[in-house]
Amino acid sequence: MSHVVAPPSAVVPGEATRQYLAALAARKRERIDWSAAPPTYKRYPAKGRVVLPWREPSLPGDLLRGLLGVTRAEWAHGARTVRLKRPAPSGGALYPIEAYIALRDGLYHYDAAHHAVDLVRPGDHRPVLHAALARPPAVLPELVVVPAAVFWRNGFKYKEFAYRLQCQEIGVLSAQVLALGERLGVPMGVHWRFDDAACQSLLGLDPACEGVLGAFTCGTTTATSHVPAPTATTENHPPPNTTDHLPPSVADRLPLLTALHAAGAAPHPGVLPPAPPSPRGPVVRLPAPRAVRLTDGLARRGSPDNGFLPRPIPAGTLAAVLAHCAAGYPGDLPGTADAPVTVTPYVLVQRVTGIPAGAYRYDRRTGALVATGGTGDVRSAPLQPNTRLALPEAAAVVVPVGDQATGATAFGDRWYRLQQAEAGLVVHRAALAATAAGLTARIHSDGTNPVTDAALGLAGPLRSLSFLLLGTARPGSTVTTSLT
Ligand SMILES: Cc1cc2nc3c(=O)[nH]c(=O)nc-3n(C[C@H](O)[C@H](O)[C@H](O)COP(=O)(O)O)c2cc1C
C-alpha cells in the first residue's frame, strides 16, 4: 500500500511562506540569463479583437491604458536604447502583470502593445467573477478587471523574488486603479480575496505559469442590489481562446514561488490578528498636510534614475504623503475603509524642514510622527549602487512595515499576498502624492533588509516591506506620458 504524504506547506498554514522567506533571506547574487526572457507581451489570436480608441475618452480603454498601457518611451543615452514604459512602476520595468476584463458581452485580454482587447470567451462572465469574490460589491459591477501575473516574465531575472514583486505590483496597480477611477469619475473596488480556482479556470490560465492576483470592480449596472446568480460556469463553456505562445511553467524553475502561490489559494474567513506592539518614543508634530490629490500625480510620475537634488522639502508635503499612505481604501480586508490593515507606514526623515532627521512611525490617528528609537542610519546595509547613490540625497524614505508571520494563523499563506499588496499600495500612493506635490520618488527594494529594520527600531516580528525614496528631482528627469 502506498502512502501519499502531503508536503508540509499543504498542511501547516504559513509553512510555504516561511520556506519562501527563508530562501529569499539566503539568496545570493545570481547571473542573469537574459536569453531566458519570455516575450514582453502576451497576445491572443486576432479573431474577436476590438481596437480601443486612443484619443477620445473611453471606458474601459482609458482605465486599461492608465493601468498598463504603453505610454512612455525613455532614452537610455549611454546604452543607446529606447525603453517602453507603462504608467505604473514595475520592478526592472518587466511588467509581469497582464489584465483581463469582463464586460457585458465577453471576457477579453488587454493587448497593451496594441491598445486593443482580444476576446477570450464570449458571454457575460461578470456574475461568475462576482460570485468568486470574498466580499463582492452589492450590485453587479459594470466591468471587472482581473490582473494576473506571468510568473516567468520577471522570474527569469529575479528568480523566487519575482513573486514578491508581482504581489507588490498588484498593490501598486490597485492604488493606480483607484486614482484612475477617481479621475474618470467611476467608483472602483479592489479585491485580493477570491476563489483562485474559479478565476484561473475562467481565464484559462495554467497556475504553474500564471496566477490571478486580484480583481478590480468598476461601477454598477443596476440601481438595485440584485445580483444575478451565475448562469454560466467555465465547465459548460467552450475552452477559452488561447495564445500560441503560452508562458513557460515555473513549477520546476521556481518551486518556492509555485508552492507559495498554491498554498495561498484557499479562501480563509480572515480575522485580522492584533497589531504587534510598535515602538513608542517622543512625538514630533507635523503641520497640516498640504492639499494634494493623487490624481495629479498620474500623468507625471516616473522613477528618477539620477538620484535627487539634496534639498529639504516642506514638512506639510511629507504630512500629505504620509496621510495618503495611511488613508483608507475600498478593499476587501476588514477595516480597509479606515486604513491599511496589514502594514504601518514608517519614515526615515533625512531632509524635511523643521523635523529632526531620524526614524519614525506615522500615527494616522494624530497625524504625528512617533520616534522609534532606531538610528535611522542604513549606510552599512548591503545596497545596490543606484540606491547607495540616491539614498543620501533623498529627503525621506517611506517604509511600509508589517509582521509577515502572524497573519497566517487567520489567512493562511494568503497573508503573504495580502500584505505585500498593501505594501505596494502604500508606496504607490506615496509616489503619486509626492509627484502631485512636485517631487519625485523611486522604490528601491534592496533597502528592505535587517540593517534597515534595525535602523527603523523594529523589534520582534516587524519587518520593512518596501523602501521608497522621495525628494526633489534633478533637472533632466522629466517624465511625459500620454495619460493627460
Ligand atoms: C515592486 C517594485 C520594486 C522595485 N524595486 C526597485 C529596485 O529595487 N531598484 C530600483 O532601482 N527600482 C526599483 N523599482 C522601480 C522600477 O525599476 C521602475 O518602476 C521601472 O523601471 C519603471 O520605471 P518608472 O517607474 O519610471 O515607470 C521597483 C518598482 C516596483 C513596482
Note whether 401 and 386 are within 8 A (CB).
Answer: no
Closest ligand 1 atom to 428 CA: 31
Confidence check: pLDDT of 482 > 90: no
The tens digit of pLDDT for each residue in 367-411 reads 999 999 999 999 899 999 999 999 999 999 999 999 999 898 889
Q: How far is the CA of 198 from the centre of ligand 1 (A)?
A: 31
Whole-number Å distance between alpha carbons of 15 and 21: 10
Res. 54 pLDDT band, cuts 50 70 90: confident
The tens digit of pLDDT for each residue in 213-269 reads 999 999 865 444 456 666 655 555 566 777 777 899 999 999 999 999 999 997 677
Q: How far is the CA of 36 from the centre of ligand 1 (A)?
A: 21
Across 440-453, average pLDDT: 97
Whole-number Å distance between alpha carbons of 281 and 372: 6
Strands 344-349 and 215-218: unpaired
Which of 112-116, 171-175, 267-271, 309-313 is predicted with the least confidence, judged by mean pLDDT? 267-271
Q: Is 261 in the pocket of ligand 1 (CB under 6 A)?
A: no
pLDDT at site 5: 43
Task: From residue 392, give the alpha-carbon distance in Å to each of 60, 104, 308, 446, 469.
Answer: 42, 51, 9, 15, 10
Instruction: Between 50 and 74, name the one with better pLDDT.
Output: 50
Whole-number Å distance between alpha carbons of 148 and 205: 9
Q: Is 164 in the pocket of ligand 1 (CB under 6 A)?
A: no
Nearest CA to ligand 1 atom 2: 91
Give the list of residues 6+ apart from residue 255 with CB closer than 8 angstroms, or none.
none
Using a 10 angstrom Cβ sphere, with 0-12 exposed, 13-18 middle and 19 or more buried, the burial of residue 315 is buried
Confidence check: pLDDT of 76 > 90: no
Nearest CA to ligand 1 atom 27: 89
Q: Is 445 in the pocket of ligand 1 (CB under 6 A)?
A: yes
Q: How far is the CA of 93 from the centre of ligand 1 (A)?
A: 7
Q: Is 442 in the pocket of ligand 1 (CB under 6 A)?
A: yes
Closest ligand 1 atom to 88 CA: 27
Q: How far is the CA of 302 from the centre of ligand 1 (A)?
A: 9
pLDDT at site 236: 54
Q: Is 386 in the pocket of ligand 1 (CB under 6 A)?
A: yes
Whole-number Å distance between alpha carbons of 448 and 254: 22
Across 74-92, average pLDDT: 87
Q: Write a three-state SS string for the chain.
A: CCCCCCCHHHHCCCHHHHHHHHHHHHCCCCCCCHHHCCCCCCCCCCCCCEECCCCCCCCCHHHHHHHHCCCEEEEECCCCEEEEECCCCCHHHCCCEEEEEEECCEEEEEECCCCEEEEEEECCCHHHHHHHECCCCCCCCCEEEEEEEEHHHHHHHHCCHHHHHHHHHHHHHHHHHHHHHHHHCCCEEEECCECHHHHHHHHCCCCCCEEECCEEEECCCCCCCCCCCCCCCCCCCCCCCCCCCCCCCCCCCCHHHHHHHHHCCCCCCCCCCCCCCCCCCCEECCCCCCCCCHHHHCCCCCCCCCCEECCCECHHHHHHHHHHHCCCCCCCCCCCCCCCCCCEEEEEECCECCECCEEEEEECCCCEEEECCCCCCCCCCCCCHHHHHHHHHCCEEEEEEEECCCCHHHHCCHHHHHHHHHHHHHHHHHHHHHHHCCCEEEECHHHCCHHHHHHCCCCCCEEECCCEEEEEECCCCCCCCCCC
Q: How far is the CA of 169 from the centre of ligand 1 (A)?
A: 10
Across 403-430, average pLDDT: 95
pLDDT at site 153: 98
User: Percent of the chain scored above 70 by pLDDT?
Assistant: 92
Across 457-465, average pLDDT: 94
Nearest CA to ligand 1 atom 11: 444
Q: Is 92 in the pocket of ligand 1 (CB under 6 A)?
A: yes
> Which CATH number applies to 8-263?
3.40.109.10
Res. 479 pLDDT band, cuts 50 70 90: low
Across 110-116, average pLDDT: 96
Whole-number Å distance between alpha carbons of 387 and 381: 10
Q: Is 201 in the pocket of ligand 1 (CB under 6 A)?
A: no
pTM: 0.94
User: Percent of the chain scored above 90 by pLDDT?
Assistant: 79
Res. 457 pLDDT band, cuts 50 70 90: very high
Res. 185 pLDDT band, cuts 50 70 90: very high
- Say if domain 283-473 classifies as CATH 1.10.3720.10: no
pLDDT at site 1: 37
Across 256-283, average pLDDT: 86
Residue type, 123: G
- DSSP bridge pairs for 314: none
Across 16-21, average pLDDT: 97
Res. 439 pLDDT band, cuts 50 70 90: very high
Q: Is 96 in the pocket of ligand 1 (CB under 6 A)?
A: no
- All CATH 3.40.109.10 domain ranges of the chain, comma separated, are 8-263, 283-473
Q: How far is the CA of 283 from the centre of ligand 1 (A)?
A: 32
Across 337-351, average pLDDT: 97
Across 70-82, average pLDDT: 82
Return the axis-axis angle of helices 161-184 and 414-436, rounded to nearest 10°. Answer: 50
